Amino acid sequence: MRIPANLLPGDVIALVAPSFGCTTEPYLTRLDVSAAMWRKRGHPVVEGKNVRRADGVACSAPGKERAEEFMGAYASDAKLILSVGGGETMCEMLPYLDFEKLKKLPPKWFMGFSDNTNLTFPLTTLCDLVTIYGPCAPSFFQKKWRLSEEDAYRMLCGENHFEGYPKWSISKRDENHPLWGYRLSQPKIITPYQYKGPMHGLFLGGCLDCLINLCGTKYDNVREFTAKHPEGIIWYLEACDLNALSLRRAFFELREAGWFDNAKGFLLGRMLSAREEFLGADRFNAAIDILGSLGKPILFDVDLGHLAPSMPFLNGVEGSAKLEKGNLIIDYLR
């Protein structure tokens, strides 16, 4: 695997908009404040041409222009390419990316969340590039960064030990609250299934909404990628819009496509829309009935997903994950 160099003071950060751009509040203000926070930490920030646009269908710009922005940032002197948002149609830029060229360029960090799975995942499986499934640029707006943002920065700087967080946000029903996603009031409960001790393997995953869309396309290189890694795969997975039945179908699709043939275990995050039972399906039996036959450990409701806070994850790095005193502990080997 190609691992980018640790982020150092003075390293440039390039902001790009491969999905939504920042055109409305509170994202505009948060983006400006976040950029200022990065500069205070010694990192010059440059913006791509699409960062403040909304000229595409549910995206910042047409797919070709978003791909051009990303390719330009990757060929620049920036050491971190940071997405400014998630969204809905990031997949439409993939046909315009030059993955062969990306393989030949020196490795650099790309970090993004949710719809950005459309880049964090194929960059790893197609280009052997380590990426970070982590917070987008506007999330760094607070004067004192939350633990999840601080962890993302520590990860970029070379830290390898990470622990879950004490509490999580209340529920999807808080969406209308101005600080929804930042009101952490619920005690955390991680539910194990078939778990007998630490999992060891290569971390790989992201948002299931995007992964099932990539499955079976020319951007699906999972079976070839996992075959090159006899250490096996620790899958970290979360979902945004999938309800409990959709979640069940997603697990079935990826299992039958052979994605989980080399699985060592599953870290399932807090599924945003699949928390309620639907026609007898829930997030627990969706995984147990479909993935349980693989005989691998499953941890439910880990600190990952669209219900904050969400741990950043290194895509394509070997390590271990364990449940200790009710908390998720991850140690990477790099």
Q: How large is the average pLDDT for residues 150-161? A: 98
Please say if the pLDDT value at position 27 is more than 80.
Answer: yes
Answer whether 38's CB lies under 8 Å from 46's CB: no
For the chain, list the domains and their CATH numbers: 13-159 (3.40.50.10740), 163-332 (3.50.30.60)
pTM, full prediction: 0.95
Answer whether 317's CB lies under 8 Å from 203's CB: yes
Q: Which residues contact 228 (CB under 8 A, 6 or more apart)?
A: none
Answer whether 199's CB lies under 8 Å from 330's CB: no
* pLDDT tens per residue across span 48-90: 999 999 999 999 999 999 999 999 999 999 999 999 999 999 9
Q: What is the mean pLDDT of the chain?
A: 94
* pLDDT tens per residue across span 84-119: 999 999 999 999 999 999 999 999 999 999 999 999
pLDDT band for 187, please (50, 70, 90 cuts). confident
Q: How large is the average pLDDT for residues 280-302? A: 96
d(CA 186, CA 309): 11
Please say if the pLDDT value at position 329 is more than 70.
Answer: yes
pLDDT band for 277, please (50, 70, 90 cuts). confident
